[in-house]
């Protein structure tokens, strides 16, 4: 089954404790991206990647890191989480950016205390 998977689905952590949210897709897509979704603000893009070893900042990259060592994986790293990073995070992938269908993962709900 073609899908985007994220782990964990739910995470409660404390300020400053490094964490990684994994994202994996099995569709051989070049383009992957991370979004955060907050009430009244919609989805805001954090980082995106056009292909392996190519990553770019989106709208709200501060406090986040990503890597794209393999085509299928695109982990999101919070080196020192803060409470304002409490949010719902989505990973997405598509063949190419722009007009192509983006497939979204199920989301990761993060609470930073």
Partner 1 sequence: TQLLEQSPQFLSIQEGENLTVYCNSSSVFSSLQWYRQEPGEGPVLLVTVVTGGEVKKLKRLTFQFGDARKDSSLHITAAQPGDTGLYLCAATAPNNNDMRFGAGTRLTVKP
Find the shortest distance in angstroms from Cβ 63 to partner 1.
18
Find the shortest distance in angstroms from Cβ 92 to partner 1.
7
Whole-angstrom Cα distance, residue 62 to residue 101?
A: 27
Find the shortest distance in angstroms from Cβ 17 to partner 1.
26
Among 93, 94, 88, 91, residue whose Cα is nearest residue 108:
88
The contacts of residue 9 (CB under 8 Å, 6+ apart) are 106, 107, 108, 109
Q: Which is nearer to partner 1, 16 or 106 (CB)?
A: 106
Q: Which is nearer to partner 1, 18 or 98 (CB)?
A: 98
Residues that bind partner 1 (CB under 8 A): 4, 33, 35, 40-45, 48, 50, 56, 58-59, 90, 92, 97-99, 101-102, 104-107
Find the shortest distance in angstroms from Cβ 94 to partner 1.
9
Please report, in angstroms and rounded to a whole number, the separation of the first and last CA atoms in the chain: 36
CB–CB of 85/34 below 8 Å?
Answer: no
Q: Which is nearer to partner 1, 85 or 108 (CB)?
A: 108
Q: Which is nearer to partner 1, 12 or 41 (CB)?
A: 41
Whole-angstrom Cα distance, residue 80 to residue 43?
A: 22
């Amino acid at each position: 089954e073609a899908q985007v998977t994220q782990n964990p689905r739910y995470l409660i952590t404390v300020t400053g404790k490094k964490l990684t949210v994994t994202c994996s897709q099995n569709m051989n897509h070049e383009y992957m991206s991370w979004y955060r979704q907050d009430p009244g603000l919609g989805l805001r893009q954090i980082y995106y990647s056009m292909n392996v070893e190519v990553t770019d900042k989106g709208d709200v990259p501060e406090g986040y890191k990503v890597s794209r060592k393999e085509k299928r994986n695109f982990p999101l790293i919070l080196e020192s989480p803060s409470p304002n990073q409490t949010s719902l995070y989505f990973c997405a992938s598509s063949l190419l950016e722009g007009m192509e269908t983006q497939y979204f993962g199920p989301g990761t709900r993060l609470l930073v205390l």
